[in-house]
């Protein structure tokens, strides 16, 4: 596997084991059928508990059954999952970084004890409801709201584009608390079998097809007081979760690009035209050289990002730079790999076109490429250019 600068020579034995275990898991259990799942618009749900057993959901958290692995191990795991398919990495990212992380960081002791072990084991599935039909890039303008009643809150509103909502047991719903003067955004744990909750599936997707996406409708949904995340108020809640997930995406995108590179390199060796392998043509070699260079630069970025995270010096803007760069890189390089495969490149028999299609979602979700550009622009100039 491409590691041109030998970055994986410095990982620990435990990190190598986690990388290899994930690689073996996807090769044996997912890769053989992933093209079919993509074509059919399905996710291999039966693997959700197995992924939990293997420690794929937020293994970098501490306690409540989580093994507390290093951030490098977590990154390598995301890389291996996305080398198979972004839908697989999205499952682990949402469950871990967007559902378990906020419960771990902001939940009550009771919430942690109730949810973290079963989410970690894959015995329950979670989803993260932030985006709304009219508010995507600007979630601050959200309309979903909560109002106090006798023993808790009543929620109303709708969320859309929510990964896993149709198969989720619990949703972290971000809503404005209208009972407080400044209507702060708060996080609510909403069990999806509560009266008034609907989770319709979005079926028309042409990207991230091996992932289940849906809406969350909230129609006078009552939740008790103990379902509020007590430890956070304001947009810091959802945004801090997104920083965790984007860190995993920056790593994952390298995996998708690496898989495209390896597929294209192999194809260039095997495929013969004009009396020999296409890999002997300078035009094809230039593509591989550029692909390997861009992947190596993206790898350097995530390794540095991880060092900063390990020593608590990571800023959300660092993560924006890495998400922005690495996803753009994977989007561009998957297209080049697709091209190198000629007609075969447009089928699900090979991975590049599937990765290319997936990258359209990854480029858009968790902050679009444009929004990360604006985050960096603001950080570099001190001037916000969102409005």
Binding-site ranges for ligand FAD (CB under 6 A): 94, 128-131, 136-137, 161-163, 208, 213, 361, 364-366, 368, 370-371, 374, 386
Min dist CB 136 to ligand FAD, Å, is 2
Structure tokens at 167: 């198969």
Q: If we measure between CA atoms, which residue out of 240, 1, 218, 205 comes closest to residue 86?
A: 205
Q: Is residue 113 among the annotated active site residues?
A: no
What is the closest distance, in whole angstroms, from the C-beta atom of residue 6 to ligand FAD in the complex?
A: 35
DSSP 142-186: ---EEEEETTEEEEEEEEEEEETGGG-SEEEEEEEETTSTT--EE
* CB-based contacts of 336, cutoff 8 Å, min separation 6: 260, 264, 287, 290, 291
Choose between 67 and 316: whose C-beta lies nearer to ligand FAD. Answer: 316
Measured from the CB of residue 49, what is the shortest distance to ligand FAD in angstroms? 21
Q: Which of 82, 113, 366, 378 is catalytic?
A: 366
Q: How far is CA 8 from CA 93, 196, 231, 232, 295, in A?
A: 22, 49, 37, 37, 14
Least Cβ distance, residue 133 to ligand FAD (angstroms): 8
- Strands 276-277, 170-177: pairing kind: unpaired
- Taking CB atoms, the residue at the shortest distance from ligand FAD is 136
Q: How far is the CB of 151 from ligand FAD (least distance, A)?
A: 28
Instruction: State which residue, 31 or 205, has the beta carbon closest to ligand FAD.
Output: 205
Cα angle 98, 158, 189; round to 5? 40
Residue 159 or 318 with smaller CB distance to ligand FAD: 159
Q: Which is nearer to ligand FAD, 208 or 305 (CB)?
A: 208
Closer residue to ligand FAD in complex, CB, 15/366: 366
Rounded CA gap, 309 and 323, in Å? 14
The set of catalytic residues is 366
């Amino acid at each position: 596997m491409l590691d041109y600068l030998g970055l994986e020579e410095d990982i620990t034995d435990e990190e190598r084991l986690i990388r290899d275990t994930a690689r073996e898991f996807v090769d044996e259990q997912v890769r053989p059928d992933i093209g079919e799942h993509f074509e059919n618009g399905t996710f291999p749900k039966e693997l959700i508990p197995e992924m939990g057993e293997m420690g794929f959901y937020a293994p970098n958290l501490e306690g409540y059954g989580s093994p507390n692995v290093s951030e490098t191990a977590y990154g390598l795991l995301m890389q291996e999952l996305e080398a198979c398919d972004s839908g697989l990495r999205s499952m682990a990212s949402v469950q871990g970084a967007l559902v378990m992380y906020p419960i771990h960081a902001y939940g009550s002791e009771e919430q942690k004890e109730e949810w973290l072990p079963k989410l970690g084991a894959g015995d329950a599935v979670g989803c993260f409801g932030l985006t709304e039909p009219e508010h995507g890039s600007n979630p601050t303008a959200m309309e979903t709201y909560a109002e106090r009643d006798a023993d808790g809150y009543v929620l109303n509103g709708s969320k859309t584009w929510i990964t896993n909502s149709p198969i989720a047991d619990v949703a972290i719903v971000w809503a404005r608390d209208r009972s407080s003067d400044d209507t702060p955004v708060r996080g609510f744990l909403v069990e999806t079998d509560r009266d008034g909750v609907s989770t319709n599936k979005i079926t028309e997707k042409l990207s991230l097809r091996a992932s289940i996406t849906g809406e969350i409708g909230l129609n006078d949904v009552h939740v008790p007081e103990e379902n509020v995340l007590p430890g956070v108020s304001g947009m810091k809640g959802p945004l801090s979760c997104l920083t965790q997930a984007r860190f995993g995406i920056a790593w994952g995108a390298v995996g998708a690009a690496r898989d495209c590179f390896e597929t294209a390199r192999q194809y260039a060796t095997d495929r013969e035209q004009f009396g020999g392998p296409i890999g002997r043509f300078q035009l094809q070699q230039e593509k591989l050289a550029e692909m390997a260079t861009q992947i190596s630069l993206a790898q350097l970025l995530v390794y540095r990002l991880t060092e900063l995270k390990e020593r608590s010096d990571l800023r959300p803007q660092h993560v924006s730079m890495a998400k922005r760069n690495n996803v753009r890189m994977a989007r561009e390089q998957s297209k080049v790999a697709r091209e190198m495969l000629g007609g075969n490149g447009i089928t699900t028999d090979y991975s590049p076109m599937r990765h290319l299609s997936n990258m359209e979602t990854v480029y858009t979700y968790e902050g679009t490429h444009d929004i990360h550009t604006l985050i960096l622009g603001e950080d570099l100039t001190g001037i916000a250019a969102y409005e």
